[in-house]
Structure 1
Amino acid sequence: MSPLLKIRAERDRMSAIERRIADFLLDNAHLLRDYSSQQLANALGISQSSVVKFSQKLGYKGYPDLKYSIGQALARGDGNGNGNGDDAGAAAADDHPHTALAESLWQLKAQAEAATRLINPPESIDAIARAIVQAGKVFIIGLGEDGIPARAFATRLSLLGILTVHYVDAALMHAGVSAAAAGDVLLVFSEHGRQPTLCQIGRRFRESAGTVVTVTRHTPNPLRAHADHALLVSAHDERRHIEPLLYQSALQHLLDLIFVLLCEASEERRGRLDLNLERMQDLLDG
């Protein structure tokens, strides 16, 4: 596993000092051979012990072990530190600036998706897919921008013939979950997981013996405390116009994986999907 990918995946859960170390390593991976742990600490204005503890938290014996692992990863071409796709971008710049920009964005999205896969083990994805299949009803809610992927996923489940109850209003969902039964599933989309009303809905749903699945960033947040299963997204960039794009891309890839698992597991569901798509097309053509 690439240490740079591991650092990027875990960044959102790090302390402020750990994020400074992580960002320095990601931005200067090719230069680390010239830095001792003390020199790195001096460059960041932190203690040497902070650098050592950071390395150990990632599973390495110490900073030299981490530095060697990063050097080996770079030699194998396992990804660059800054995630900007410099080599490919520089080559593409000879054609057109837009090509370089598109290549850089593609690289960033690919890294966000890889980091997101890393923190969502297959057994967790399988458990969520199994809960959806076995549910009598699947309740789905997302507020604001979180409502966009929530609505799209609810539509896909409906096309598979899965009974889906989708709300964009928290008050209506409060009323809706009163009809929840044991075995039903609630998917709550909330990037930062901080809305108190969604936490209340999750708590009420679990009281009815339903299964709560939260969809949030890979950060400690109140909503995850109410989850039976958590879908986690790792996507980071200092540029505020880029970071949401990475989050949306990584989240969509995660949801696509679950949808494909649901399709592949049942020929009957695939048949329902085909039939529903044909009916929709007939309505559009008419």
Structure 2
Amino acid sequence: MTSLASAPMGSAVERLRAGVEELSQRDQRVARFCIDHAEEVPFLSAGELAGRLGISGAAITRFSQRVGYDGYPHFQKTVRHDLRATLGLKQPGPQNAVVADFWASERANLENLAALPEQQLLLFAQAIAQARRVWIVGARSSYGLALMAEALLSSFRPRVEAHSADLLLSRPEQFLELTAEDAVLVYTLRRYSRATTQVVTALHERGVTVLLLTDQGASPLGKLARHCLRLPTQGSEAAASVAPFVSVTSLMIVLVARAWKGDHFKQTEALKAEFGVYEY
């Protein structure tokens, strides 16, 4: 057992970082992967992590024990707990500060969106516009964002569908509908959904273009995305802000509508008028 196992308490990654030089060459490889990809550890079984590193699952178990844990599940649980503690969410403060703090956080998040490179935004929208079909995927609260995006985007281009990642996992045969000509627009925020990671990984393996809208954490899907927009989500209370996601989604709608030159929009509006969808 290394002295790292009895090191002062801190996060699992902090302890690895402090003691990595004490480890054997093989254990250093495991430790450095866990340091650099901490956000992925909660989603990887011992076998999957071993496969990424080209070693055995037993080696992962022994590594976990040598650095002070009962085994890999204990190490994984600790990393997951540490990540939850870094979400940046705060407990409610005095009632008279809540409203002012909320608007201050929202203003800061929206102002920070201006730092996103314009070319990156244009390429993201271009991929949405050019795909044969677009699936929009989210889980839990992110599924609400996916539904909003579907409602807006479907007026300006055809073949747009929102899907719950949890429900897709129960019907994986639906993955056969998508090909390399298609794109999946993914909404995911910390704590990243395991279902979303599994669904998008499967679609990526089918050649589907992955377009990722996420926060400024290290989403495990970042490495799969053709285009990725990392948005500021600092919350003033016990929830991350979704305003940047709504704003960027609205921008994507504008850019896609321009790319489609309004033809699909005219057709959808004519149908809505025919069926009396709106009061005026």
Q: Give yes or no for TM over 0.5.
A: yes
CA RMSD of aligned residues (A): 2.9
Match of 1:275 in 2: 270
Question: What is the identity percentage for the equivalent residue pairs of Structure 1 and Structure 2?
Answer: 17
Match of 1:199 in 2: 197
Is 1:160–2:130 an aligned residue pair?
A: no
Change (3 A) 1:193 1:123: farther
* Gaps in structure 1 of 5+ consecutive residues: 1-14, 17-96
- Residues 128-139 of structure 1 mapped to structure 2, 5 A cutoff: 128-139=124-135
Is 1:230–2:242 an aligned residue pair?
A: no
> How many angstroms does 1:166 deviate by?
2.0
Match of 2:43 in 1: none
1:128 and 1:275 map into 2 onto residues whose CA distance is 29
> How many angstroms does 1:226 deviate by?
1.9
* TM-score (norm. length: structure 1): 0.57
Match of 2:237 in 1: 239
Match of 1:253 in 2: 247
Higher fraction of helix: 1
Is 1:117–2:114 an aligned residue pair?
A: yes
Change (3 A) 1:149 1:276: farther
3-state SS in 1 of match to 2:148: helix
> How many angstroms does 1:195 deviate by?
2.5
> How many angstroms does 1:173 deviate by?
6.2
> How many angstroms does 1:194 deviate by?
2.8
Match of 2:216 in 1: 218
* TM-score (norm. length: structure 2): 0.58
Q: 1:187–1:213: 8 Å Cα contact kept in structure 2?
A: yes
2:264 and 2:179 map into 1 onto residues whose CA distance is 23
* Gaps in structure 2 of 5+ consecutive residues: 1-12, 15-94
3-state SS in 2 of match to 1:212: strand
3-state SS in 2 of match to 1:224: coil
> How many angstroms does 1:172 deviate by?
4.8
Would you say how many aligned residue pairs link Structure 1 and Structure 2?
Answer: 185
Match of 1:127 in 2: 123
